[in-house]
Amino acid sequence: MTIENDRLPVLLIGGGMESREVIMPTLFQERRRGKIGWIGISSLTGSVIQGLRKYFPNEEFTGYPDPDKVDPDKEFPELFKEALDELPEGSLVIVAVPDHIHTTILLPALERGLDCIVEKPLCLLVEDAHKIIEAADEKALYILTDYHKRHDRAVRAARARYRKGDLGELLHGHAWIEEKKEMPLKNFAAWAEKSSPFEYIGVHYVDAYYFITGLMPKRLAAFGQKKFLPTQGKDAFDAIQAVIEWEDGSVFWIQSSWVCPESNTALTNQGLNLHGTKGEYWADHKNRNLSFTIDDTPYEHYNPNFFRPYDSWEEEGLVDWVGYGYESIQQGIDDMVTIRQETKGLSEKEALEKRRELLAKWENLRALPRQALIGVAVNEAVRLSIDNNSRYVGFDEKMYPKLL
């Protein structure tokens, strides 16, 4: 198959909940806006592709595997490599597979010289993060981790005011992020035991604290409970908490869980408090003071800022997907469009230099791998602390966690 390369070709590897609810609507919208050309979706089975075709009946995309040609229930864990091989130079790969296999998908994409957006967390081990950084550095490849909270105005406001000095020096902070039981029991039933509420969602607030302050974590102690999920046949954590001390001596507590009642008024409880020498930030990131109460539907807290369809300004009957879920992926797509424009017609050597120049410009502004490494390191340290009776864990100069 020859893939048209006038506009950015995008291969999405995944096809699950995050792909269906956020990434694919974003890709189709950006194609409508002229940024993207060809779209391919590589998944584990043909039945996932069949489901996506039903979900998006008016959108065209190439499916790997093709459910018309294979048994739809047969698994093809290595087929994504064939899909990667078909991509022309300058394509974008989006990785949205379970957390514990990000690295096995990312490294083959990088070997082929392809730029990537990857769902958070970048990966689960510091060792893997360094392999990814090394592979990306060699060819000056772009890898953006989708930490969408960085695009939430409620988090950007904290960053802007903290960096302006309004909060003074930070003393302590507190974040909570907790999802419904359907996540480990239904949506992530296949991989809940290989992840945890901290690695899956708690890490959002590790990254948010780092994004807001620019501080490095110094040491942490973590705690985990397995009380409810084992009664459902799952050897997985219900909840995990970590207390993290940062290089300036400030302390940040994060509590995460995925066993909230199904009757909760939103999928996710979440919020952030920061207390500094000159002021305080307090935000409920779940209850944005907007709710719907509708016949036969449970009372719902509605976050208008996340990823929502609003009546389009472009055409009657269309929707515009708006919000930080969109902006985070859009940033990666726009950066890729820039890379393609700026390197067009250049020799290989000149293109490499131009790429290095662009990446250096974005290094401190984006969740590129050296920034995403912080969340990876804290995730790994949290595991290590819990496995060692909540002992303190510090970090060496390459962010490898070590027991203290």
Ligand X SMILES: NC(=O)c1ccc[n+]([C@@H]2O[C@H](COP(=O)([O-])OP(=O)(O)OC[C@H]3O[C@@H](n4cnc5c(N)ncnc54)[C@H](O)[C@@H]3O)[C@@H](O)[C@H]2O)c1
Interaction with ligand X in 162-191: which residues (CB under 6 A)?
187-188
Q: Are 146 and 328 in contact (CB under 8 A)?
A: yes
Closest among 115, 67, 113, 112 to 95, alpha carbons compared = 115
Contact call for residue 151 and ligand X (CB under 6 A):
no
Interaction with ligand X in 252-271: which residues (CB under 6 A)?
none
Contact call for residue 399 and ligand X (CB under 6 A):
no
Helix (H) or strand (E) holding 107: helix 102-111
Contact call for residue 371 and ligand X (CB under 6 A):
no
- Nearest distance from C-beta of residue 308 to ligand X, angstroms: 15
CA distance to 152, 206, 303, per residue, from 307 (Å): 10, 21, 8
Binding segment for ligand X (CB under 6 A), chosen from 90-98, 226-234, 296-304, 386-394, is: 90-98
Please state, in angstroms and rounded to a whole number, the distance separating the CA atoms of residues 159 and 202. Answer: 19
Q: Which residues contact residue 387 at a Cβ distance below 8 angstroms, ignoring those fewer than 6 apart?
A: none
Nearer to ligand X, 115 or 146 (CB): 146
DSSP per-residue codes, 4-25: P-SSEEEEEE--SHHIIIIIHH
- Nearest distance from C-beta of residue 216 to ligand X, angstroms: 23
Binding segment for ligand X (CB under 6 A), chosen from 93-101, 251-259, 262-270, 293-301, is: 93-101
DSSP per-residue codes, 235-283: ---SEEEEEEEETTS-EEEEEEEEEE-TT-SSSEEEEEEEEESS-EEEE
Which of 19, 103, 213, 343 is close enough to bind ligand X by CB under 6 A?
19
Q: Which residues contact residue 343 at a Cβ distance below 8 angstroms, ignoring those fewer than 6 apart?
A: 90, 350, 351, 354, 355
Contact call for residue 13 and ligand X (CB under 6 A):
yes
Contact pattern from residue 44 through residue 73 relative to ligand X, giving x for each residue in contact according to CB under 6 A and a dash for the rest: x---x-------------------------
Which of 34, 77, 165, 168 is close enough to bind ligand X by CB under 6 A?
77
Contact call for residue 369 and ligand X (CB under 6 A):
no
Which of 128, 146, 152, 335 is close enough to bind ligand X by CB under 6 A?
146
- Residues of this chain that interact with ligand X (CB under 6 A) are 13-19, 42-44, 48, 77, 80, 96-99, 101, 119-120, 146, 148, 187-188, 200
